[in-house]
Amino acid sequence: MQFSKESILSIFRLIVGFLFRLLTKIECRGSENIPDEGAAILALNHLSRLDSPLILILTQRVDISGLVAVNYRNNPISRWLVNLIGGIWINREQADFQALKEAKRYLDNGGLLGVAPEGTRSKTKSLLPGKTGIAFLAEKTKVPIIPVAISGTEKIFTKLSHFRRPEIKIQFGEAFRLEPISRSQRDASLKKNTDEIMCRIAVMLPEAYRGVYKDHPRLEELLKSD
């Protein structure tokens, strides 16, 4: 029997959403910042393998996909789910232009794309330096970026093993657009735009999660204007 992406997502959201709400305490803010239609990038910090399922159950769009590290192909369940929802596999150990080309095509067609700019789960449980691929993709597509701040998912399994319900917080920030990349100072411009994305995530996180961006001048500006 052939299932559509819409039916697969509906079943997934029903089952996984029930488990999340049964076993954890979820506080979600700003979901109204996710547009009902049209291309956009969800830029999120990455703490746990459960971050992506959490995003899927808290968004209602069918045309949602994401960049997923190729090492998750080794897990049969992850591989099955990612392939079914049309996820884009990316090799984060190199400049994977084929994956970025697929991501651009997806956004050009009006889809919603999730991206973790850090490129990997943070073992420090706080923000790592963002990689410039997301700024490059935003420059090529000219789509808005919605920052997403997640905290608490890194403690889920530990707390459940002690029969405690973990508290998870997720906040979707307001959409914004980046400044055009300077051709004469391309690398510096890409880094500046990447830092802008990361600081927009950091400003919504508890202080302990801000990691390498905790003393960034742009974060200080955002905190003052918040």
Three-class SS of 116-132: CCCCCCCCCCCCCCCCC
The CA–CA distances, whole Å, from 200 to 43, 96, 146, 187 equal: 9, 25, 9, 20
What does DSSP assign to residue 166? P
| pLDDT for 1 beyond 60 | no
Q: What is the pTM of this model?
A: 0.93
Q: What CATH number corresponds to the domain at position 213?
A: 3.40.1130.10
Angle formed by the axes of helices 133-141 and 97-108, to 10°?
A: 40
Angle, CA of 195, 201 and 204, to the nearest 5°: 140
Range of the domain at 28: 5-225
Mean pLDDT, the chain, rounded, equals 93
Average pLDDT over residues 46-73: 91
Domains in the chain: how many in total?
1
What does DSSP assign to residue 176? B
Q: Residue 71 — very low, low, confident or very high, per pLDDT cuts 50/70/90? A: confident
| pLDDT for 24 beyond 70 | yes
